[in-house]
Structure 1
Amino acid sequence: MVGIATRDMAASLAFYRLLGLPLPEGQPLEPHVELDLGGVYLCWDSIELLREVYQGWEEPRGHRIELAFECSSPDEVDQLYERVVSGGYEGHREPWDAFWGQRYAVLRDPDGNLISLYAAM
């Protein structure tokens, strides 16, 4: 299981839906949301829930983990980046041709996590 701490469940779920994750609608007020990705769960927990479960928990600062989404082509990296940014979310680094042979871009989710998009060139 990979957990994402979120200040705004609705905004976070909407962001990840734009990236293509099949998250069901109707969960924006839930304190915990799970998505089974074939035996690996991606989960979202509200800050309030985390503080209740892990007494004394403090919200972390800075980049801690990265999620990367593989795209089918370099053009899809560009299109997905533009769709998410046009949806009102923040881009961190516009698409570029990386020296390691991939088209690459980096977004920020609503909680400041860096999310990569990539495709083989």
Structure 2
Amino acid sequence: MVPQRVSLITIGAYDLPALRSFYQSLGWKETSISSDTYAVFKTAGVLLSLFPIKELAKDANIEITQSPGAFRGVTFAINLEEPGQVDSVIEEIRKAGANIVREPSDAFWGGRTAYFADPENNLWEVAWNPSAVFDERGAMISF
């Protein structure tokens, strides 16, 4: 049986120092395993790593077919416990220099949501879902 979990998400970075600096400007702390060529941030649920995209493609034995800034068809999410947090978190992200691609608004499914893109156009949702349940670490365990 395959374990039902997500342990690590890696973003292939075109400019690792700039992308690393952005996530640091959000106030996110790196783990001790980070180095000059690899950044790892501990989140409530999974580890988020940044790795040079050419090295990531080489490791996976694939070719890079997208240009920097192209939508990669993947979104990440920061889910929150209260609807007003969506607005305040987006303001902090705006101050860090992110491109806000959708301002906070009520969602058709009953929550509140917004979207931002990091410096390499990786798309993140910031959301409140009224049925979300979080554990003591802040990891969303159901919705």
Q: TM-score range by the shorter chain?
A: 0.7 to 0.9
CA positional deviation for 1:112: 0.8
The runs of at least 4 consecutive aligned structure 1 residues that moved more than 6 Å come to none
Q: 1:63 to 1:48 in 2, by over 3 A?
A: closer
| 2:98 is aligned with 1:92 | no
- Equivalents in 1 of 2:129, 2:45: separation in Å? 26
Between 1 and 2, higher relative CO (CA 8 Å, sep ≥ 6) is seen in: 1
1:93–1:106 Cα contact (<8 Å) kept: yes
- Equivalents in 1 of 2:54, 2:31: separation in Å? 22
TM-score of the two chains, using structure 1 as the length reference? 0.76
2:77–2:125 Cα contact (<8 Å) kept: yes
Match 1:23 to one of 30, 33, 46: 30
Between structure 1 and structure 2, the one with the greater Rg is: 2
More deviation, 2-11/99-108: 2-11
CA positional deviation for 1:99: 1.3
TM-score of the two chains, using structure 2 as the length reference? 0.66
After TM superposition, the structure 1 = structure 2 runs for residues 22-101 of structure 1, keeping only pairs within 5 Å, are 22-23=29-30, 30-37=36-43, 40-50=46-56, 52-54=58-60, 57-60=63-66, 61-101=70-110
- Equivalents in 2 of 1:15, 1:86: separation in Å? 11
- Unaligned residue ranges in structure 1 (runs of 5+): none
Q: How many residues were matched structurally?
A: 119
Alignment match, 2:4: none
- Equivalents in 1 of 2:111, 2:26: separation in Å? 18
CA positional deviation for 1:109: 1.1
Secondary structure class of the residue paired with 1:84 = helix
Secondary structure class of the residue paired with 2:30 = coil
* Partner AA of 1:2 in structure 2: I
1:19–1:80 Cα contact (<8 Å) kept: no
Seq. identity, %: 27
- Computed over aligned residues only, the root mean square deviation of the Cα atoms, in angstroms, reads 2.8
